[in-house]
A and B are shown apart, each in its own frame.
Chain A
Amino acid sequence: MRRFIIISLLSAMTLPTLACIWGELTNPYLFSMYRRTEFKERVEKICNDNWQAYLGTSEEYFWFNADDVIKAAQHKSDGLMVSYVKNLQKYLKCVDVEQSKQYEWNYPSKEEIAAQQRDLQAIRTYALGNTKTKLRSQHALLYMRCNMMLGRHQENINYWEQTASQLIETVYKDMMQNIYAGALYKTGQEEKAGELFAEMGDYQSLMTQFYRKRSFQAIRQHYLKNPNSKVLPFLLQDFVNNCQEVIDANGGEWFNGKLFVRRITEQEATQMRQFCETVVREGKTETPIMWKSAKAWLEYLYGHQKQATSDILEASKLDGTDRMKDCARVLMLFITANQASDSEAFDNYLADELAWIKEMEKKEEDGYFYRAKTRLSHQALMKHYQNNTDKLIALMDVTNNYHYTEYIDTMRVSQLEKYFAYTNTPAKTNLDKFLKANLKIDEKAMTDLIGTKYLRLCQWDKAIKWLAYVPASFYNEAGYRMYVLLRKVSVEPWITRQWIKDADVDRAETYNWTVSENPKLLFAKEMQMMEGTINVLSGKALCQRCYNLATYYAQANFTGDCWWLMRDGKSVCDTLRVNEVDLRAKTKELLQKASQTTDIALKEKALFALSYAELYKEEQRWFTREWNNETYEYDRKTVSNTQQYSAFAALANFEKQNATHTSQYVSRCDEYIQFRKVFH
């Protein structure tokens, strides 16, 4: 029965949609005067509720089933309903023929299409004959659906205007009106169709109809014909949001390099600003708040912030729908937040507005307030509170700022400790009260993060202090759990890479392996012990300790297999970040010390480790790859003045002197073999 939904929608929706030409734009638009009510979802829900009521069931009704309804109607001796549903079923079979063109192996033959047309005619006649019964609305809808399928659009127009529009208000009447609007569109009466689509919240049909009529001139013409056209909120909103796209794409503020739906030139935007002013002055519009707010937002987008402030203040006093007033209030907050100085007055204003947005988020189902909050957080609040770290982080948390996780992950540990303390102190101001009541802090995660930040600084004692509070179970919930279970920090990465195989994962899952001890705490303790006792060592033991420590550092580095000790995730684009020690440099320093040993085997290992590619940045490697436009190939060029080249050279010289003792991990190393070809 799932297919019925598709069929029923096809039966209800009268215009083809422009799938793939525009997608739902998820980037947060602040200018949203036209509320999308999603016509098709609304009518579908009501129809299902009606069937549920007829069947007398308490279970929510999702899929229409003709046989069930017929059975129930027969039980009630409701002959009219039986004949209606039987004909509806027959109609749906005709729709099925259309569907089979799309989705079935049996593509309909000419004969089947002819039969479908005959059936539609018969159902049409039946339906028309029952439009004076107690199920008149349902039969009228069936009649109009048949006309739509048969392409008899003019008859639908006549029928709606003369008969169906007089029927009582029902969901069937809404659907008929939608078919009527589609018929108007298909017979060239686009203006009238647009008004109806706008009125019933059929956004998809509106976009189909006006896709190529969204320029300033087109909107102006539309206004001149009818200053209170219901399509204008849709058109003006689309125009303003496209301006926002252009401004965003020009970069600087947030998403650099964003591309746009319809490029609007600054000249066109200026014309629109002037036109908005004219519209408000003329006084013909019933919604001056919309035009004045549009002007304010355009002024803001194009850098005229003072004008924007004055316009939005003026707009908030003008008439319009509730949605328009809400939207103007959001714009006012955004524009103010970007210009107001840091003050308690602004904090109080913000606290009130954020509380209001939070309430509105619950009421409005179209997600406008969530999106508005997102943009406000990223583009206004981060800038406004850049010098007040505690409030900034709390605001990022409560507004679901996309950068929150990265921000707290890379900030200085002392600041994060201070913030953590702030969250646990009583609130004093209104803003503090709002923030602390809405924080979503996970104390274990925060403690782990602070401990991890100390790991990144190699401050083992402080790391131990924090990590001691994090139970092992926390790491069983971590995304990197499998790496914790399957990798060891003591394995030399230059000799063995710990690639994870499917079989290992399967085994871990099958036997339900769990992390039984806090792995970061263990690591910190081991490092503390190894470094704390290094001063008492000398000679071979000291070199061996240096080598072991180098192994640990290399593993814990972001290029190591145990990257999860310091980071939550891994990517090929990772680099050394602020507020962390360069573990690669530490590794190399320790390996240099280890390579001073008189133990031949350890020396070979240390020299080999020093040539390990993961210890070097791209520009420190022993060769470069350059694209050759003539051969369409990469050319490999040796660079002899790099760190890795020197390391490989030292290894090669060592092996020359100890030719009979070369270990397999050296002689079989691909990169070493390549190096030897160019090194003499």
Chain B
Amino acid sequence: MSLLLCLLIAGCSEREELSESNAVYYWRTDFRLDSTEWAFFQRNHINKVYCRYFDVVINEEGAEPRPNATISFSSTLPDSIELIPTIYITEDCMHQKHQGLAEKIVKRIRQMNETNDIKPVSEIQIDCDYTSKSKKVYYQFLEEVKQAWGQTLSTTIRLHQLSMEAPPVDYGVLMIYNTGDPKKWEERNPILDIRDVQPYLKRLDSYPLPLAAAYPVYQWVRTIRNIRIEHTVGADEILRVKEAVEKKRSNLKHAIITYHLDKDNINRYKPETYEKIYHH
């Protein structure tokens, strides 16, 4: 914890905040980095990788959560880069309490690390699009994960979740994407549009958790009414939103993550764009 967090003075209030870091989300099913990605790491001084280990979904019978789409490891990271196992849990898993789920997840992460010779990790992250319906169960679940894990625990915070009380974790990652209504894609980019972010800005400064900020660099391809549609956010829009959120809460510039690491996503934007997103 002491390495992770440092005390900063934010406005008139004292709040623990995150130290500077440049990070990426790794969201594929095989951990294998190519030369473009290694070069990207070097150029942007990436020191953390939030790596999706597996998803947790409700099984086919609709009763019990089970792992899905587990990652395999074909590359390893150098010691200078911290690996943070990240687990995505579907919201319906949190509609009711599942006994022992937290312990199962922590045990599985540990076993995966051991089997695949992953160096010791000190932090894990849970990603869940919790709602007011699932919040209570989710927060209790996070308490149990914290207990079972015993080290740093973080979770993702979607913009709509800013209006709820903060979850019981060490810090949150503010997901600044998937902001729009996918059905209204002709009017606004569903991945990111500052007009959709704006209503939440006022909640940023008073949100009690330390926060990292995650920005989208991905492309979303889907088929709508038999039409193949590709959504991509322009670099200008990402930077405009970044400026807006940092204006409301300046320490959001400390810990930056992009979602997600991929050669195509790297090549989608100019190196200067990434230089503006990250610390350089």
Contact = CB atoms under 8 A, between A and B. Distances in A.
Contact of B115 (A26, A107, A245): A107
Interface in A252-272: 255, 258-261
A103 B68 contact: yes
A105 B195 contact: no
A105 B226 contact: no
Interface stretch (A108-116, A483-491, A518-526, A547-555): A108-116
Q: 9 closest A-B pairs (Cβ-Cβ)?
A: A107-B111, A259-B230, A26-B226, A102-B70, A105-B104, A632-B244, A632-B198, A255-B227, A258-B227
Given A113-B115, A258-B227, A2 B68 contact: no
B26 to A, nearest CB: 15
A101 B70 contact: yes
Contact of B67 (A20, A25, A105): A105
Given A103-B68, A255-B227, A23 B115 contact: no
Most-contacted residue by chain B among A20, A103, A109, A245 (CB, 10 A): A103
Given A27-B226, A104-B67, A633 B198 contact: yes
B221 interface: yes
Contacts of B226: 26-28, 255
25 contacts: A20-B221, A23-B221, A23-B228, A25-B228, A26-B223, A26-B226, A27-B227, A27-B228, A28-B226, A101-B70, A102-B67, A103-B67, A104-B66, A105-B66, A105-B108, A106-B111, A107-B111, A107-B115, A109-B114, A110-B115, A245-B228, A258-B228, A259-B228, A632-B194, A632-B197
B60 interface: yes
Contacts of A245: 228
B112 interface: yes
Most B Cβ at <10 Å: residue of A28, A106, A245, A260: A106
A260 B70 contact: no
Interface in A1-60: 2, 20, 23, 25-28
A54 B221 CA distance: 45
B69 interface: yes
B229 interface: yes
B68 A102 contact: yes
B228 A261 contact: yes
A107 B70 contact: yes
B72 interface: yes
A386 to B, nearest CB: 23
B246 to A, nearest CB: 12
A25 B66 CA distance: 31
A499 interface: no
Contacts of B112: 107
Given A23-B223, A632-B198, A260 B115 contact: no
A23 B198 CA distance: 34
Contact of B108 (A27, A107, A259): A107
Contacts of A258: 227-229
Contacts of A105: 66-67, 104, 107-108
Contacts of B244: 632
Interface of A is mostly: loop
A358 to B, nearest CB: 21
Nearest to A258: B227
Interface of B: 54, 60, 66-70, 72, 104, 107-108, 111-112, 114-115, 194-195, 197-198, 201, 221, 223, 226-230, 244, 247
Contact of A102 (B60, B69, B229): B69
Contacts of A113: 115
Contacts of B68: 102-103
B114 A110 contact: yes
A511 interface: no
Given A102-B70, A110-B115, 20 more contacts: A23-B221, A23-B223, A25-B228, A26-B223, A26-B226, A27-B228, A102-B54, A102-B68, A103-B66, A103-B67, A103-B70, A104-B67, A105-B67, A105-B108, A107-B108, A107-B111, A108-B111, A259-B229, A260-B228, A632-B197
Nearest to B264: A21
B66, B112, B227, B228 — most chain A CB neighbours (10 Å):
B228
Nearest to B111: A107
Contact of B60 (A2, A110, A632): A2
A261 B219 CA distance: 13
Contacts of A107: 70, 108, 111-112, 115
A107 B107 CA distance: 9
A314 to B, nearest CB: 32
B72, B104, B114, B227: residue with the most chain A Cβ atoms closer than 10 Å: B227
Nearest to A19: B29
Given A258-B227, A260-B228, A632-B194, A101 B72 contact: yes
B274 to A, nearest CB: 23
Contacts of A110: 114-115
Most chain A Cβ neighbours within 10 Å, of B60, B70, B201, B230: B70
A113 B114 CA distance: 12
Interface centre among B68, B197, B198 (most CB of A within 10 A): B198
A113 B66 CA distance: 21
A260 B230 CA distance: 8
Contact of A627 (B72, B104, B195, B223): B195
A287 to B, nearest CB: 29
A571 B227 CA distance: 21
Given A27-B227, A261-B228, A109 B111 contact: yes
A104 B198 CA distance: 42
Nearest to A110: B115
Contacts of B107: 105
Interface string A606-636: 0000000000000000000001000011100
Contacts of B72: 101
Interface string A65-101: 0000000000000000000000000000000000001
B111 to A, nearest CB: 4
Contacts of B111: 106-109
A628 to B, nearest CB: 9
Nearest to B57: A103
Interface string A224-266: 0000000000000000000001000000000100111100000
Given A23-B223, A105-B104, A632 B70 contact: no
- Give the interface centre of A259, A627, A632 by most chain B CB atoms within 10 Å: A632
B34 to A, nearest CB: 13
Contacts of B247: 632
A258 B112 CA distance: 42
A102 B194 CA distance: 38
